Amino acid sequence: MNKRTFIKLTGMATAGAFVAPTLTFCTPASNSKEDAASETGIASTFTQPQLKYGYGDLEPHIDALTMEVHYSKHHAGYTKNLNGAVAGNSRFEGKTIEEILAEISSTADDKAIRNNGGGFYNHNLYWDIMAPNGGGAPTGAIALAIENSFGSWDACKESLTKAATGVFGSGWAWLCADQNKGLYICSTPNQDNPLMNNIVEQKGSPLIGLDVWEHAYYLKHQNKRADYISAFFEVLNWNAINGRFQAL
């Protein structure tokens, strides 16, 4: 499948779910509170965060076209659909995304919020923990925590790679901290994540989220998921990951 065909199919698959915003590099997503209200009549609760870098700034590791499609279509769609699903829902309206995910269940009634809430949160984290000129070995408090839990960054990276390559179909691999700030690695299907108390086996605070949905890598790497995983490690933003760890 070439890039033109993939983009055409992506557009066809998503066209019925949401209206994708028109974005330029690093501009705020158009699904702000005012825009959502004007398009749907629903006051927006969640806004897609602005990228801290341009679509092409993670090259050659993450290509610009993948970034643009991933951010302006997939993530924007999760954000818009989450707002629509939460509006008028007395269980979740007015709560933070973390509170929503902690209470979500596996029932059919919660499916839309589970999928779109997970997609919203997961991608917020994903963009935040990548940066131009990133990668390398961890530094600061997270480096010591990784050493204590895994012995070395190489061992941690090997385990995270194994978790990511082992996801069947679409999902995520995670480096998480437990309630005692001990680190562990897990994976989840679809847009589930470790904050979902009633769904995952072990609840944790996500520090690194590795997206292994095909839309995250297929334009550049096709079916070579392992190549994408290696590239992902080259853009890790250790300052942001440290900030998440130290905030626990």
Q: Where are the alpha helices (DSSP H) in 47-108?
A: 64-69, 76-86, 97-103
Task: Annotate 149-160 with DSSP letters as a single string.
Answer: HHSSHHHHHHHH
pLDDT beyond 60 at 3: no
What confidence score (pLDDT) does residue 6 get? 43
- Segment 229-237 shows an average pLDDT of 98
Residue type at position 180: N
pLDDT in tens, 134-170: 999 999 999 999 999 999 999 999 999 999 999 999 9
pLDDT in tens, 123-136: 999 999 999 999 99
pLDDT beyond 80 at 62: yes
What confidence score (pLDDT) does residue 149 get? 97
Token pair, residue 154, equals 């190489």
What confidence score (pLDDT) does residue 44 get? 53
b/e map 56-89, b = 16+ CB within 10 Å: ebbeebbbbebbbbbbbbbbbbbbbbbbbbbbee
Going 81 to 102 to 49 to 43, the CA torsion angle's sign is positive
Residue type at position 201: E
pTM, 2 dp: 0.83
